[in-house]
Structure 1
Amino acid sequence: MNSNQKKLVKSTVPVLKTNGTDLTKHFYTRMFTHHPELKNLFNMSNQASGKQQHALAGAVLAYAEHIENPEILINVLKSIGNKHVSLNISPEQYDIVGHHLISSIKEVLRESATDELIEAWTQAYNELAQIMISIEEDLYQSALKKDGGWKGWRTFVLADIIEESSEVKSFYLKPKDQNTIADYLPGQYLSVKLFVPELGHEQARQYSLSSAYHPEYYRISVKKEHQPNAPQGVISNALHQKSIGDEIWVSAPSGVFHAGIDGTQPLVLISGGIGVTPLLSMLETNKNKLQENTTVWLHSCRNEKVHAFKDHIDRLNEDNDWLTTHIFYETASKEEHNPVKEGRIDLAELKDEVLIDHAKYYICGPEVFIKVQYNSLIKLGIAQEDILYEEFGPQLLHFN
Structure 2
Amino acid sequence: MLSEQSAATVRATLPAVGAAIGEITERFYARLFASHPVLLRDLFNRGNQASGAQKQALAGSITAFATHLLEHPDTRPDAMLGRIAHKHASLGVAPEQYQVVHEHLFGAIAEVLGETVTPEVAAAWTEVYWLMANALVAIEKRLYEESGTRDRRPWEVVERVEETADVVTFRLRPADGGPVRDVRAGQYVSVQVVLADGARQIRQYSLSGGPSESVRQFSVKRVTGGAAAPDGEVSNHLHAHVRVGDVLELSEPYGDLVLDADAGTPLLLASAGIGVTPMIAMLADLAAAGHQGAVTVVHGDRSPTDHALRADHETYAGKLADASVHFFYERDAEQGTRTGLVDLAGITVPAGTRAYLCGPLPFMRAVRAQLVERGVAPADIHYEVFGPDLWLAQG
Per the normalisation by structure 1, the TM-score is: 0.92
Counterpart of 1:344 (choices 333, 338, 341) is 341
The residue number in structure 1 matching 2:287 is 287
Secondary structure (helix, strand or coil) at the match of 1:78 reads helix
Letter in 2 for 1:376: Q
Secondary structure (helix, strand or coil) at the match of 2:96 reads helix
CA contact (8 A) 1:192 1:206 kept: yes
The residue number in structure 1 matching 2:186 is 187
Identity of matched residues, %: 35
Gaps of at least 5 residues in structure 2 are none
Letter in 1 for 2:15: P
Measured after TM superposition, the shift of residue 263 of structure 1 is 4.4
Distance in 1, Cα, partners of 2:318 & 2:139: 43
**What are the superposed Cα offsets for residues 162-219 of structure 1, whole Å, 9 maximum, x if unpaired?**
1112211111021111100111111111111112224x42111111011222011110
The residue number in structure 2 matching 1:265 is 265
The residue number in structure 2 matching 1:378 is 372
CA contact (8 A) 2:157 2:246 kept: yes
Secondary structure (helix, strand or coil) at the match of 1:257 reads coil
The residue number in structure 1 matching 2:312 is 312
CA contact (8 A) 2:206 2:218 kept: yes
Gaps of at least 5 residues in structure 1 are 145-149
Measured after TM superposition, the shift of residue 70 of structure 1 is 7.4
CA contact (8 A) 1:222 1:236 kept: yes
Distance in 2, Cα, partners of 1:385 & 1:152: 33
CA contact (8 A) 1:261 1:285 kept: no
| 230-239 or 217-226, which deviates more | 230-239
The 5 A counterparts of 1:1-400 are 2-39=3-40, 40-68=42-70, 69=73, 71-144=75-148, 150-198=149-197, 200-227=198-225, 231-241=230-240, 242-260=242-260, 263-333=263-333, 338-350=335-347, 353=348, 355-398=349-392
Query: Does the C-alpha gap of structure 1 residues 83 and 318 become closer, same or farther in structure 2, counting only changes over 3 Å?
Result: closer
Secondary structure (helix, strand or coil) at the match of 1:231 reads coil
Distance in 2, Cα, partners of 1:110 & 1:318: 62
Distance in 1, Cα, partners of 2:319 & 2:138: 46
The residue number in structure 2 matching 1:147 is none
Query: C-alpha root-mean-square deviation of aligned residues, in Å?
Result: 2.0
Query: Does the C-alpha gap of structure 1 residues 55 and 319 become closer, same or farther in structure 2, counting only changes over 3 Å?
Result: closer
Letter in 2 for 1:306: D
Distance in 2, Cα, partners of 1:315 & 1:186: 17
Query: Does the C-alpha gap of structure 1 residues 293 and 369 become closer, same or farther in structure 2, counting only changes over 3 Å?
Result: same
CA contact (8 A) 2:372 2:378 kept: yes
CA contact (8 A) 1:186 1:261 kept: no
Distance in 1, Cα, partners of 2:302 & 2:167: 13
Secondary structure (helix, strand or coil) at the match of 1:356 reads coil
Distance in 2, Cα, partners of 1:169 & 1:261: 30
Letter in 1 for 2:113: L
Distance in 2, Cα, partners of 1:220 & 1:330: 25
Query: Does the C-alpha gap of structure 1 residues 6 and 315 become closer, same or farther in structure 2, counting only changes over 3 Å?
Result: closer
Query: Does the C-alpha gap of structure 1 residues 395 and 232 become closer, same or farther in structure 2, counting only changes over 3 Å?
Result: farther
Distance in 1, Cα, partners of 2:317 & 2:212: 22
| 318-327 or 94-103, which deviates more | 318-327
**What are the superposed Cα offsets for residues 313-342 of structure 1, whole Å, 9 maximum, x if unpaired?**
333455544221111110025x6xx11211
**What are the superposed Cα offsets for residues 92-116 of structure 1, whole Å, 9 maximum, x if unpaired?**
1001001111111111101111122
Query: Does the C-alpha gap of structure 1 residues 48 and 26 become closer, same or farther in structure 2, counting only changes over 3 Å?
Result: same
| 311-320 or 386-395, which deviates more | 311-320
Distance in 2, Cα, partners of 1:87 & 1:70: 30
Letter in 1 for 2:352: H
CA contact (8 A) 1:44 1:231 kept: no
Measured after TM superposition, the shift of residue 63 of structure 1 is 2.1
Distance in 2, Cα, partners of 1:209 & 1:261: 19
Distance in 2, Cα, partners of 1:62 & 1:53: 14
Distance in 2, Cα, partners of 1:243 & 1:249: 14
Work out which structure has the larger RCO, using CA pairs closer than 8 Å and 6 or more positions apart in sequence: 2
Measured after TM superposition, the shift of residue 269 of structure 1 is 0.8
Measured after TM superposition, the shift of residue 72 of structure 1 is 3.1
Query: Does the C-alpha gap of structure 1 residues 203 and 123 become closer, same or farther in structure 2, counting only changes over 3 Å?
Result: same
**What are the superposed Cα offsets for residues 54-94 of structure 1, whole Å, 9 maximum, x if unpaired?**
11111111122233437331110011001110000001100
Distance in 1, Cα, partners of 2:131 & 2:310: 48
Distance in 1, Cα, partners of 2:363 & 2:79: 22
CA contact (8 A) 2:286 2:320 kept: no
